[in-house]
Structure 1
C-alpha cells in the first residue's frame, strides 16, 4: 500500500514545476493565470474530501484508492492532450484547467483511500505508525517527482512528462489490485460536517503546523537571494533529512504515548526551527533552522491523526481522515498568499516569524485539547 501510494502521488509531484512553465512560457499567460491553474487543484481537492471520505467509509479504502488512481490517470491524459500541436493557447489552457480539477478529485480519493486502507490493514492501535509511513511515501513522491518531471520536460517536452503522469497512477492501481480489501466497520455514519465538528481541534492544529512548511517551499529561495546567501537549493533537503529521520526512528511514538503530547513537543520544536530561520545571520543557521523545522513537523500529522480517529466511531474513520487532511490542504492554499502579503510588507524574514507564531498557536491549542467526547 505504501508503494502504491508513492507511485500514485508521483502524479502530484511530476507536473508541479512543469505546468507553470508550460502555461507561462509556451502558452504566454500571466503569472496570475499560472497561480490560478496551480491553485485550482487545491480547491478541487478540498471540496471533494467529503465525497472521498464517504466513499471510503461505504466501500472501503481499496475502492477509493483505485477510483482515485483512475481519475488521476485521466488528469495526466488531459495534460497530454493540452500539449498537442495545433491547439490554440486558450483551448490548451482550458484543457489543463479541467485536468487540474480532475487531478484534485483523483488525489482526494486516492490519498484518503490509501491512508484509511493502510490503517485498516494494521489496526487502529498502529495508526500512528501507518500514517508516518504514508507521509514518507507522499513526501518522497513530491521530492522525486518534481525533478523527474522537470528533466522529462526539458529533455523531451511536456508530452513526455505528462505520459509519466498517466503511467504513475496506473502503476499504483496495478500494485493496489493485488492487496487485500478490508471490510468497512458497521455502524451509524455521520454527515461530513458533523465529523468535522468532532475533529476540528486536531485539524486546526495540523493546519497551523502546515504554515511553516508552506513558507519554506514558497519563499526560501527568495529569502536566500535577498540576503545574498548560497545553498538555497538545500533548504528542502535539510527539511527532508530532519523530517524523514524522525519519521523512521520515532514512527511508533504516537501509538505508544499520548498523541497530544507528541504533537505539543513537535510544535515547540517547529517554533524553534522557524525562529532560527527568522533570526539567521547566515545561510548555515538558516539551513539548520530548516532541519529543525523538519524534525518538528515530522510527527504532527500522525500524532494528531491518531487523536482525531479516537474522536469518531469506526464507521466514520474514512470521513475523519478526509476531513483531517483537508485542514492541511487549506493551510497550503491560504498560507502562501498570506505569507506573500507579509513578505511584501515586512520582508522575507517575517514569513518565518509568522510560521513560528502559527506553530506556537498550534501548541497552545494542543494544550487545551481533551480526550474523545462522550
Structure 2
C-alpha cells in the first residue's frame, strides 16, 4: 500500500496560503500575550492569579483539542478543520470586544474573556493540525519533512512578531484593537483559504485513536524529551541572563528563535533527504550542545552563541520525528496522528517545565539548562532505534 496518495501536487499558492493561515492565528495569539495581563489586572482590576487563569485557558484548550481536531480533520477533511478553526478565532475576537462592553461588570467581562481564550485555544489546534494534514494530503513522501517544517516556521515567525505588535496596538488603541485584529485577521485568512481545493476525507474507524497512539508513541516520546529545552528557553532564559547581568537579556530567546527560523529555511528539505530519525539525532546533538554552552558560559557573548545553537538544533527535530510518526501512522489518519504526536510536546512542556522551575529553586537557574540538555540527549537512542527498525504501517480496522 502507498502510504501517501496525493490528490494533487501542492502548488506554491496552496502552501503559502496555509502558512498564512497558521501565521494569522498565531500572530493574534502572540499579540494578545502582552495586552491581556494589563487589561485584566489594570482595566478589570483582577489579581495575577486571574491573569494566569485566563492566559493559561487558551493553552489548556489547545491541548485538550489536539485529538479532537485530528479526528475531525480526518473524518471531515482538513479544509473543514481549518475553516472551523478560523471561525472559532473570529468568534474569539468578537468575545474580546464583548468583554469591553461589559467592563462595568468585571465578573461578566472576565467570564466572556475566558470563553474567548478557550475558543482561541481550540482554533489554534484545529488550524495547526488541519493545515499540516492538508499539506500532507497533497504531498508525496519526498516532501513530508519540508511541509511540517514550513508550517511550523510560520507559527514561530508569527509568535516572534505578535508580542511587539500587540504591545504597540494596546499602548496606542487599547484592548479593542486586539479584539479587532483577532476578528479581522481571521476573517481575511478565511477568504484566503476558501478557494483552495478540499481533499477527500478517508473512511475512519472508532478504534483509530488507540491504533494511532500505538503507532506514533515512540516518536512522540522522543519529541517530548527533545522539547524540554524549548520550554526552558521560553520560560527561564531571560531570567538567567538577567541574573548573570548579561544584556540585552531579551536577545537570548530572540537568538534562539531567529536561528531556528534560519535553519528551517536553509535546511528544511534535509529530513526528506537524510531520513527523519537521522536528521533528528544530528540536530538534537546541536541543540543539547547549545543548552550546555549556556550553562557553561562565563561571558554573555558565549551564552548568546549557545542560545543560537540551541534554536538551530531544535529546528529540525520536530519535522524529523514528525516524519517518523507519519510513516508509522495509517494514511487515513494523518490528522489524528499529528494531533497525538503534538500532544506529547504539550504534555512534556505542561508537566516538566514547572517541575524544572522547582528544581531551579534548589539548584539554581543555570543547572536546569544542563538537565534539559541531558534529557534531550535521551531522544538520540530512540532516534537510532527508529532508524534501524523498519516502518510498519498499520491499517485502521474495526
Same fold, TM exceeding 0.5?
Answer: yes
- Mapped partners of 1:281, 1:100: distance in 2: 41
Could you tell which deviates more after superposition, 82-91 or 314-323?
A: 82-91
Task: Give the structure 2 partner of residue 64 of structure 1.
Answer: 81
Residues 126 and 189 (structure 1), Cα distance of their counterparts in 2 relative to 1, 3 Å cut: farther
Contact 1:128 1:255 in 2 (8 A): yes
**Distance in 2 separating the partners of 1:21 and 1:365:** 44
Aligned to 2:54: 37
Using the TM superposition, give the Cα deviation of residue 277 of structure 1 relative to its aligned residue in structure 2, in angstroms: 0.8
2:135 to 98, 115, 118: 118
Tell me if the contact between 1:117 and 1:182 (Cα under 8 Å) persists in the aligned partners: yes
Q: Which residue of 2 aligns with 1:9?
A: 26
> What SS does the corresponding residue of 1:14 show, helix, strand or coil?
helix
Measured after TM superposition, the shift of residue 310 of structure 1 is: 0.8
Match for residue 107 of structure 1? 124
Q: How many residues align?
A: 374
Matches of 1:343 and 1:225, distance apart in 2: 15
Q: Structure 2 vs 1, CA of residues 301 and 349 (structure 1 numbering), >3 Å: closer, same or farther?
A: same
Q: Are 1:50 and 2:42 an aligned pair?
A: no
Paired position in structure 1 for 2:41 = 24
Which among 183, 192, 207 is matched to residue 200 of structure 2?
A: 183
Q: What is the deviation of 1:187?
A: 6.6
Aligned pair partner of 1:317 in 310, 318, 334:
334
Cα 1:159/1:279, change in 2 over 3 Å = same
Does the Cα contact within 8 Å between 1:8 and 1:171 map onto a contact in 2? no
Quick check: 205-214 or 262-271, which moved more?
A: 205-214
Whole-angstrom CA distance in 2 between matches of 1:25 and 1:336: 28
CA shift for structure 1 position 366: 2.0
My pick for the range that moved more, 2-11 or 138-147, is: 2-11
Write the distance in 2 (CA, Å) between the matches of 1:355 and 1:29: 35
Q: Contact conserved, 1:8 with 1:169, CA < 8 A, in 2?
A: yes
Q: Hey, what's the Cα distance between the residues in 2 that align with 1:170 and 1:139?
A: 21
Map 1:319-358 onto structure 2 (within 5 A).
319-358=336-375
CA offsets, 1:50-108, max 9 Å, x none?
Answer: 11111111121111001001001111221222233643222222122111111111111
Contact map agreement 1:187 1:314 (CA 8 A) in 2: no
Q: Distance in 1 between matches of 2:195 and 2:46?
A: 43
Aligned to 1:237: 254
Do the aligned residues in 2 keep the contact of 1:11 with 1:165 (CA within 8 Å)?
yes
Q: What is the CA–CA distance in structure 2 between the aligned matches of 1:110 and 1:88, rounded to whole Å?
A: 33
Structure 1 distance, partners of 2:331, 2:104, is 50
**Worse-matched range after superposition: 316-325 or 116-125:** 116-125
1:263-293 Cα distance to aligned partner (Å, 9 max, x none)? 1111111110110111111221111111000
User: What's the offset of the Cα at 1:189?
Assistant: 6.6
| Counterpart Cα distance in 2 of 1:315 and 1:184 | 8
Q: Which residue of 1 aligns with 2:3?
A: none
Aligned twin of 1:273: 290
**Pairwise CA distance, 1:309:** 0.7
Deviation for aligned residue 1:188: 5.3
CA RMSD after TM alignment: 1.7
Task: Give the TM-score normalised by structure 1.
Answer: 0.95
Gaps of 5+ in 1: none
Summarize deviations over 1:96-130 as a string: whole Å, max 9, x none: 21111111111111111011101222233311111
Which secondary structure state, in structure 1, belongs to the residue aligned with residue 200 of structure 2?
Answer: coil
Measure the CA separation in 2 of the matches of 1:9 and 1:172. 12
- CA displacement 1:194-215 (0-9 Å, x = unmatched): 3122101111222222211111
Q: Is the 8 A contact 2:289 2:306 kept in 1?
A: yes
User: Residue 156 of structure 1: CA displacement?
Assistant: 1.0
TM-score normalised to structure 2 length: 0.89
Unaligned 5+ runs, structure 2? 1-17, 394-398
- 1:73 aligns with 90
The offset of 1:30, in angstroms, is 2.7
Residue 223 of structure 1 pairs with residue 240 of structure 2? yes
The equivalent residue for 2:266 is: 249
